[in-house]
Amino acid sequence: KQEVTQIPAALSVPEGENLVLNCSFTDSAIYNLQWFRQDPGKGLTSLLLIQSSQREQTSGRLNASLDKSSGRSTLYIAASQPGDSATYLCAVDNNDMRFGAGTRLTVKP
Amino acid sequence: GAGVSQTPSNKVTEKGKYVELRCDPISGHTALYWYRQSLGQGPEFLIYFQGTGAADDSGLPNDRFFAVRPEGSVSTLKIQRTERGDSAVYLCASSLRDSSTDTQYFGPGTRLTVL
């Protein structure tokens, strides 16, 4: 059974810092990996989707990498802003989506 | 419609009652997913529809849970004889074809509280 782990569980940084969120998974036979953002009391918003054949995807200040062989992905956020405060979830798809528990990010002004 | 919608946004019920949760996917999306999210956890997969049929229902926890999508659009998640442990946020998502290639778009969820 696929297990998805996210480290750290919570992170607090001052505005402007660059930061890295980590995701690891146990079964490397995946179709894709997605990073989502979840604001309190809201649904999930997809940030980046990396297909299994890809190594990274970029969108604005966000960059996600995928190393399937080692079962790892990172989400890099550049020049963090208070509006980035949210919970970030990673999910892997191998026949059904498995989510990590998320990293709760707080960016202080 | 603009996105995935779910109704009701909140549902409070008593132990043993029957509840129905509704999901309206994005128009034209053939794939529809239901998840359950407990406090402090990531969403847990329940069931996946491709068109009208349940392509994968392996995540349904027991036979008290059932979902339908009779016309390949709106879906209803049905929970019989609710238990306190069923309390969670139930999320619905849709994608154009299937999640192996397409982004899933999530609704805001229904918060179910079983007293």
Asked if omega into B8 is within 30° of 0 (cis), the reply is yes
Structure tokens at B94: 């849709």
Q: Provide the percentage of residues in chain B whose pLDDT is more than 90.
A: 85
CA distance A59 to A66: 15
Q: What is the pLDDT of residues A71-92, one digit of tens each?
A: 999 999 999 999 999 999 999 9
- Do the chains contact at B107 and A43, CB–CB below 8 Å? yes
Q: Provide the percentage of residues in chain A whose pLDDT is more than 70.
A: 100
- Do the chains contact at B59 and A45, CB–CB below 8 Å? no
Q: Which residue of A lies nearest to B40 if distances are taken between CA atoms?
A: A101
CA distance A37 to A43: 9
Is residue A100 within 8 A of residue A5, CB to CB? The reply is yes
Chain A partners of B33 at a C-beta cutoff of 8 Å?
Answer: 97
CA distance A14 to B109: 31
Chain A partners of B48 at a C-beta cutoff of 8 Å?
Answer: 96
Containing H/E element for A6?
A: strand A4-7
- Do the chains contact at B41 and A46, CB–CB below 8 Å? no
Which among B4, B42, B99 has CB closest to A102?
B42
Q: Is the pLDDT score of A3 beyond 70? A: yes
| Strand arrangement, sheet containing B75-79 | B5-7, B19-24, B75-79, B65-68
Does B72 contact chain A (CB < 8 Å)? no
CA distance A77 to B37: 25
Q: Which residue of B lies nearest to A52 if distances are taken between CA atoms?
A: B100
Q: What is the pLDDT of residues B88-102, one digit of tens each?
A: 999 999 999 876 678
Structure tokens at A29: 């036979």
CA distance B35 to A29: 22
- Number of helices (H), then strands (E), belonging to chain B: the values are 0, 11
